[in-house]
Amino acid sequence: MEVYEAIQTRLTVRQFKPDAVPDDVVMKLLRAGQWAPSSRNLQPWHFIVVRDRDMLKQIGAVATSGSFVADAPTAIAIAMDNADRAELDAGRALQQMELVAWDEGLGTCFVGLRVEEQNRKVKELLGIPEGMELITILPFGYRDEKLRRTRRPREALSGIAHDERFGQAYPEG
């Protein structure tokens, strides 16, 4: 799949087939994160692969915006260590993982863990050191093409793209 095709067709997926994701595919996702660019090339990330069913259930029970983690065969948590641009760096690694996952026939969903108490509990469950920042847990599994829904709409380009100066709509071709 071409990169542009993956970008255009990718959807957030919250229901997964129960099939295990093979080790080499998990490795591909990890490599996609490892090769992401980061501010000053500090690579301040840690990727925690979670496959233990009981752990996934516990995380799903804590994360109110990601209860479906409980039913995913695998998840990768991303924790940042002393990163000056933690969300940007983590976001770039994540997006690369998500596109590779899509190309592999998987579905993913970024779970934000923005409620402080929930974030702390998941950090504890995964043994992430206190000084690190847990950005997300990314559950993934094979996507069921039957459940594939249409893309969520996006703002018209004319409202967000500007030509030379802010306020001059970029002409949509």
Ligand X SMILES: Cc1cc2nc3c(=O)[nH]c(=O)nc-3n(C[C@H](O)[C@H](O)[C@H](O)COP(=O)(O)O)c2cc1C
Q: With binding defined as CB under 6 A, does residue 6 bind ligand X?
A: no
Site for ligand X (CB under 6 A): which residue of 5, 7, 9, 12? 12
Q: How far is the CB of 87 from ligand X (least distance, A)?
A: 8
Question: Between the CA atoms of 144, 145, 150 and 153, what dihedral angle is there, to the nearest 10 degrees?
Answer: 60
Place of tokens 């998500």: 98
* Cα–Cα distance for residue pair 44/25, rounded to 1 Å: 23
117: CB partners within 8 A, 6+ apart: none
Q: Which is nearer to ligand X, 159 or 171 (CB)?
A: 159
| Residue 125 in contact with ligand X, rule: CB under 6 A | no
- Site membership for ligand X, residue 11 (CB under 6 A): yes
Choose the stretch contacting ligand X; rule: CB under 6 A; options: 6-14, 15-23, 118-126, 165-173.
Answer: 6-14
- State the amino acid at position 46 in one-letter form: H
Is residue 140 a contact point for ligand X (CB under 6 A)? Answer: no
